[in-house]
């Protein structure tokens, strides 16, 4: 077999293969025999029709295609092996010449794994913004714990307060027309944690029981229903119940009810330990991001458009599936965010993912980092506990799904490489920069009924 191989730009290789006529004839005859055995040809028993009859019945092109399917895998494997190629996709046949009795000629394109050039990735010193624990973090954590155990008690002798829970009726109108799904009876709202549009809950504060009043708000410009976006609205409301939170006393008995603690001091120590570990976790994640950002900036890699498109297509499908699970359509997303904006984000994410994967792969090879059985077992144990499944049942299910197992293995490899990078570089934790006012990212809000 004769092979002409030429590597081109953008990780593309062109290969011209000549397969001896004898091998082509054998493959063609095998294809004829296969069709003769599996296709009913009038006047002949299965497998007994002569070649010319099978060719007339089936068509030479189909027979040639069948013959090529048996010839090309081994031919391509020889190309890959002899040239020590790392391929991304199966070679793509561009054209071929297949005439019985003559050498078979095939021209194909092979997409290769991009070559990655990394500068220094060990022994670096990077500045990382240190996470500053809010001064009120401990008090807020304790208050949240008390609030979770609070009881709601009806009050009838005062107006509503900002931390009350109320039961009320509302009926919304825009331009004098009733809003579809913009009304409810005896709706319960936690005024301190409302998911209604901005300004709605605030106007329910300091209101008396059983009194009609109006709430005037404006729908956000990026609201998911275009006909309401940016429109002023009036909601006619009436509060039927006001409930106040009554917090439990912070005693040893309370501590024993909420966890494995004997005293309030033990509970407080646990809260502080959680806050300290949270700081450690955030600082570690910031260090991981800093080193990966550095490598992304300096990596040299030529990514072919086809590779980028495949990753973008995959991300787009993930995005559409996510929308579906949230109760939204692709058309609504386009209406809310714009097709150009969505695709820009997806293409940027696709490029980031590809670079990230190539960087991880490069370092794992350079440093002989791999996924061993112990790491895989530990990860499966962790995931089975997370999903509250029996360890053996979970492992069996995962091994029956090669794609999932590959994802888990890749996740383990990512974690190992990033841990290696954190351990082999130095990070100076510096005071965070002053926060700049930024526009909040556009998000698609839930369209469930009464989520105004």
Residue 225 CB coordination number (10 Å)? 16
Alpha carbon separation from 20 to 105, 324, 369 (Å, rounded): 9, 53, 43
Report d(CA 298, CA 450) in Å as an integer: 49
Residue spans of the domains in the chain: they are: 2-113, 151-246, 260-430
Which of 2.60.40.10, 1.10.3120.10, 2.60.40.420, 3.40.190.10 would CATH assign to domain 260-430?
Answer: 1.10.3120.10
What pLDDT sits at residue 452? 67
Per residue of the chain (452 residues), give pLDDT as tens: 899 999 888 889 999 999 999 999 999 999 988 888 877 777 676 767 788 887 888 888 999 999 999 999 999 999 999 999 989 888 999 999 999 999 999 999 999 999 999 989 999 999 999 999 999 999 999 999 999 999 999 999 999 999 999 999 999 999 999 999 899 999 999 999 999 999 999 999 999 999 999 999 999 988 888 889 999 999 999 999 999 999 999 999 999 999 999 999 999 999 999 999 999 999 999 999 999 999 999 999 999 888 999 999 999 999 999 999 988 899 988 988 899 999 999 999 999 999 999 999 999 999 999 999 999 889 888 888 888 888 888 888 888 888 888 889 999 999 999 999 999 999 999 998 765 444 333 333 334 445 56
Token pair recorded at residue 47: 């497998």
Query: Strand 12-19 relative to strand 104-111: parallel, antiparallel, unpaired?
Result: antiparallel
Token pair recorded at residue 110: 């092979």
Architecture of domain 2-113: 2-Layer Sandwich (3.30)
Alpha carbon separation from 194 to 58, 145, 170, 299 (Å, rounded): 69, 19, 15, 45
What pLDDT sits at residue 443? 36
Query: Strand 125-129 relative to strand 426-430: parallel, antiparallel, unpaired?
Result: parallel
* pTM, to two decimals: 0.72
Name the DSSP class of 393. Answer: H
What pLDDT sits at residue 336? 84
What pLDDT sits at residue 394? 85
Q: Do the Cβ atoms of 354 and 308 come closer than 8 Å? A: yes
Torsion of CA 147, 150, 153, 158, to 10 degrees: -30
Report d(CA 158, CA 241) in Å as an integer: 11
Token pair recorded at residue 403: 């794609």
What pLDDT sits at residue 322? 93
**Nearest Cα residue to 7 out of 114, 94, 89:** 114
Tell me how far the alpha carbon of residue 330 is from its chain's centroid: 17
Fold identical between 2-113 and 151-246? no
Q: Do the Cβ atoms of 11 and 111 come closer than 8 Å? A: yes
What pLDDT sits at residue 451? 55
What pLDDT sits at residue 290? 96
Report d(CA 264, CA 209) in Å as an integer: 39
Alpha carbon separation from 114 to 80, 298, 301, 302 (Å, rounded): 15, 15, 6, 6
What is the three-state SS of 370-383? Answer: CCCHHHHHHHHHHH
| CATH topology classification for 151-246 | Chitinase A; domain 3 (3.10.50)
């Amino acid at each position: 077999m004769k092979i002409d191989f030429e590597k081109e730009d953008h990780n593309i290789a062109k290969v011209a293969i000549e397969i001896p006529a004898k091998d082509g004839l054998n493959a063609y005859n095998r294809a004829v025999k296969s069709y003769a055995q599996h296709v009913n040809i009038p006047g002949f028993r299965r497998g007994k029709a002569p070649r010319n009859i099978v060719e007339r019945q089936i068509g030479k092109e189909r027979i040639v295609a069948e013959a090529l399917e048996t010839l090309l895998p081994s031919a391509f494997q020889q190309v890959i092996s002899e040239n020590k190629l790392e391929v991304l996709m199966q070679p793509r046949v561009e054209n071929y010449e297949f005439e019985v009795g003559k050498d078979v000629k095939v021209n194909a394109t092979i997409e290769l794994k991009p070559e990655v050039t990394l500068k220094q990735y060990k022994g670096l010193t990077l500045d990382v913004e240190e996470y500053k624990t809010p001064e009120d973090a401990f008090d807020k954590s304790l208050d949240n714990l008390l609030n979770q155990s609070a009881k709601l008690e009806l009050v009838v002798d005062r107006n509503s307060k900002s931390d009350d829970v109320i039961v009320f009726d509302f009926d919304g109108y825009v331009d004098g027309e009733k809003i579809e799904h913009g009304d409810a009876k005896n709706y319960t709202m936690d005024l301190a944690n409302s998911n209604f549009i901005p300004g709605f809950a605030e106007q329910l504060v300091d209101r008396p029981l059983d009194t009609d009043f109006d709430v005037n708000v404006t729908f956000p410009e990026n609201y998911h229903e275009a006909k309401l976006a940016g429109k002023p609205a009036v909601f006619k409301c009436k509060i039927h119940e006001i409930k106040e939170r009554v917090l439990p006393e912070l005693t040893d008995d309370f501590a024993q009810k909420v966890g494995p603690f004997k005293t309030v001091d033990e509970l407080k120590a646990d809260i502080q330990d959680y806050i300290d570990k949270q700081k450690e976790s955030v600082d570690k994640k910031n260090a991981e991001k800093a080193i990966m950002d550095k490598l992304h900036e300096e990596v040299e890699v030529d990514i072919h458009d086809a590779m980028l498109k495949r990753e973008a297509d995959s991300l787009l499908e993930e995005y559409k599936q996510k929308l579906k699970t949230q109760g939204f359509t692709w058309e609504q997303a386009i209406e809310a965010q714009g097709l150009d904006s969505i695709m820009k984000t997806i293409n940027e994410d696709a490029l980031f993912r590809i670079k990230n994967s190539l960087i991880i792969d490069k370092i794992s090879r350079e440093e002989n980092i791999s996924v061993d059985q112990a790491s895989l077992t530990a990860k499966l144990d962790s995931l089975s506990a997370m999903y509250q499944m029996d360890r053996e049942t979970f492992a069996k299910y995962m091994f029956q799904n090669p794609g999932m197992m590959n994802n888990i293995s890749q996740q383990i490899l990512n974690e190992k490489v990033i841990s290696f990078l954190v351990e082999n570089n130095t990070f100076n934790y510096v005071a965070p920069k002053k926060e700049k006012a930024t526009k909040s990212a556009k998000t698609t809000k839930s369209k469930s009924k009464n989520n105004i």
